[in-house]
Structure formats: C-alpha cells, structure tokens
Structure 1
Amino acid sequence: MKSLSRILSAAGLAVGLALTGIPANAQQKQAPAAAPALKPASPAALAAAKEILAMKNASAMYASAVPNLVEQTKNVLLQSNLNYQKDLNEVAMIVAKNLAGREKEIGEGMAQVYANEFTEQELKDLVTFYKSPLGQKLLSHEPRAIQFSMSYMNQWAQTFAETVNGQFRAEMKKRGKDI
C-alpha cells in the first residue's frame, strides 16, 4: 500500500506540475486549451466508472490539488508583490478554505472520461474483473510494477542520454569543434 501511495503521490505531483501553468496562463491572458467534448453517459456507466476509480484509489492523485494550486498561485503572486507576503499568506488560507472540496470535480471529470472511453457494459465488466482475484492482484501489485517501470525508464534515460551526448560530441569533433 505504501508503494501505491508513492505512485499516487508521484501522479499527484505530475498533475500539480501540469497545473502549475494555470496562474502563468492567467497572467499572460492566454485562453486555456479546450477539453475534448465528452458524450453524455448513462447514470449506470458513471456509477461503474466511479466504482473503478474508487477501487484504484484515484482520489489520492488529486486529494491535494486545491491546496497545491492555492500555494502555487500565492507563490506566483508573491514574486511580484513581496511587500504583501503577510497578506498573501493570510489570503491563501481563506482561499483554500473557500475552495476546499472542489478537487472532487476532478473525480467527476475522470468518471466522465472513463464513461466516454468505455461502454457501460465494458465498465461493468471492468468492475467485475477488478473484484476478481486477478483484478485484486492487479490493483495491489500494479503500483509497484509502475514504480519499478518508472525507475527502469529513468535509469535507461540516464544511460541513453550519455549515448546521445557521446554521439553529439563525436559529430561535433568531425566538424573540428570539441565540446
């Protein structure tokens, strides 16, 4: 379960990092990218999608989304308003309190996405699968497998980066430029 927590924390961090651009985009007055239109889902499909997400403990990925975004926004505002640090810290607590619980919108949206990608029957079949012994094993072992996969990919990338760097240096040396 600890590895699931780590994976979900990493996923939460990824979501947080992806969302870090939101305050910057607001400052730049750029329109956010439109989310793809989702087809309406039946209540049964949404219920099955929510059950799958609950079994996967998906809420752990976005549980801290609101406080993280409040903190990130405060930090962006602090960069250009250092004189208001005390006020911004106080306001951050108010804003976080006012917006507490809004992260549940992410779960609703994720359920909509699942219901858009899978038929109602497929979702019901997935629920049945996840309740089976193999499905339970997948739920309990997949986070560890993902963690080890990510670790492998990072190690591979570091080694491969050395190969790429070597190729760059060799090609530049052919041009008479040692780098």
Structure 2
Amino acid sequence: MRLDIAGRLTGVALALAALAGAAPALAQNQPFNMGDAKAGAAAPSPERMKLANELLVANGEATSFDAMIPGIIEQAAGSFVQANPDLIRDLREVAKQLVPQYESRRSEIVQILARTYATAFTDSELEELLTFYRSAVGRKLVENRQKLLDAGLSGIQAWSATFSREMEGRVREEMKKRGFTI
C-alpha cells in the first residue's frame, strides 16, 4: 500500500474513532449536538470558537476530513454487500447519490474539532498558534506536511525492516544459547 494512501486511511480511521459518538446523529440525518461531546463542559466563548476555527483553516486541519463523509457513506452502503452481493453496483450508485446530500455536514466535523481546540487552549494561546501558522514557516509546514509525513513514514518503515532483521538474528542467537537452532 502506498504511504499517502496509508496516511489518509489512518487519518480517516482516527477521525472515525473520534466521531464514534456522533454516529447516531449522523444515521438520523440530525446535526451533531456539541453538548453531547462533553456533557457538563462549559461551552467556549464565541470569540474563542472563532479563533479555533481560524486556526483550523490556517493549519490545514479544516480540510483534512474532507473524505470522511463520502467514506462513511461508502462504508454504510458497503456493509450491505456481503448479504446482498448482487446489489453491489446499485449500492455504489446509491452511495454516490447520497454524498452530495450530506456534504454540508462536514462543518459539524470542523466544529467538533474547533471546540476541542477552543477547550484546550486559551485565547492568547490560540492567537500564538495562529501567528505561527500564518507566518512563512507555519505556511511552509502546512504546505509540506504530507510530504514530510510520507518521507518520515518511509524512513520509519525502512528502519523497522532493518530493526526486525536485527532482532530476528538476536532471537536466533539467544535460542542457540539455549540449545535450539531456528
């Protein structure tokens, strides 16, 4: 599997896990109630939410979940394939047909993330983060993030393969000391 696909799938998987509590609302085509996300937590001020939303745009996270709604719809339609394999073409068509109807729900995802940031950071911290992401080096980070992650993952995979071979050799050595040849 290519690294960029793996990275996107990992992102979608993490996003799905983060939104597991939103599934009932999504299934009912009802907007997710932010109060459900953190019962008893005070809502961040509108000013802090505005800063958090600006940060999500500046750091690129506002668009990082763009594939999530189509993915959930495709997964929902795909869940019927095993029981109805003859309907695969129709299920795919239905999924494609539903995507545009639910694209507007993406803002709910962004608002969940904005509230998370608004709860975790003060106004001044959000402003500092915005200053960084609006700076030349911050924009460079956002623009190159995927390339950096891909290169890093590629390096980690190569290291992991080498380390794994090294450990296989060490295990053989230790087993040989115990009288086993593997």
Same fold by TM-score greater than 0.5:
yes
Match of 1:96 in 2: 99
Alignment of 1:8-87 (within 5 A): 11-18=7-14, 19=16, 39-87=42-90
Residue 100 of structure 1: how far off its partner (Å)? 2.4
Scaled by the length of structure 1, the TM-score of the pair is 0.71
Greater shift, 46-55 or 151-160, is seen at 151-160
Q: Partner of 1:124 in structure 2?
A: 127
Partners of 1:82 and 1:157 in 2: CA distance = 39
Q: Cα 1:67–1:136, aligned 2, differ >3 Å: closer, same or farther?
A: closer
Whole-Å separation in 2 of the counterparts to 1:45 and 1:11: 30
| 2-structure distance, mates of 1:130, 1:61 | 16
Q: Does 1:151 align with 2:154?
A: yes
Report the number of matched residues.
163
Q: 1:169 aligns to what?
A: 172
Give the whole-Å Cα distance in 2 for the aligned partners of 1:10 and 1:60: 18
Q: Could you list the per-position Cα deviations for residues 105-143 of structure 1 after superposition, in whole angstroms to 9, with x for gaps in the alignment?
A: 211111111111111111012212322344334434444
Using the alignment, how far apart are the partners of 1:35 and 1:152 within structure 2? 37
Segment drifting more, 63-72 vs 125-134? 125-134
TM-score, normalised with respect to structure 2: 0.70
Report the Cα offset of residue 170 of structure 1: 3.2
The answer on whether the counterparts of 1:12 and 1:60 sit within 8 Å (CA) in structure 2 is no
Which contiguous aligned blocks of 4+ residues in structure 1 show a shift greater than 6 angstroms?
A: none
Corresponding residue number in structure 2 for 1:31: none
Higher-RCO chain (CA-CA 8 Å, sequence separation at least 6): 1
String of CA shifts for 1:35-79, please: whole Å, max 9, x gaps.
Answer: 666542111111111111111222332111111122222223202
Gaps of 5+ in 2: 25-35
- Equivalent residues of 1:66, 1:99 under 8 A apart: yes
Deviations 1:8-47 (A, max 9, x none): x654321323439x7xxx9xxxxxxx96665421111111
The one-character-per-residue Cα deviations of 1:140-160 (angstroms, maximum 9, x if unpaired) are 444443333222222211211
Unpaired runs of at least 5, structure 1: 1-5, 27-33
Percent sequence identity over matched residues?
Answer: 31
Match of 1:111 among 108, 111, 114: 114
Aligned AA for 1:14?
Answer: T
Whole-Å Cα distance in 2 between the matches of residues 151 and 87 of structure 1? 38
Contact 1:16-1:69 at 8 Å conserved across structures: no
Query: Aligned partners of 1:10 and 1:112: how far apart in 2?
Result: 27
With 66-75 and 140-149 compared, the bigger mean Cα shift is at 140-149
3-state SS of the aligned residue for 1:100? helix
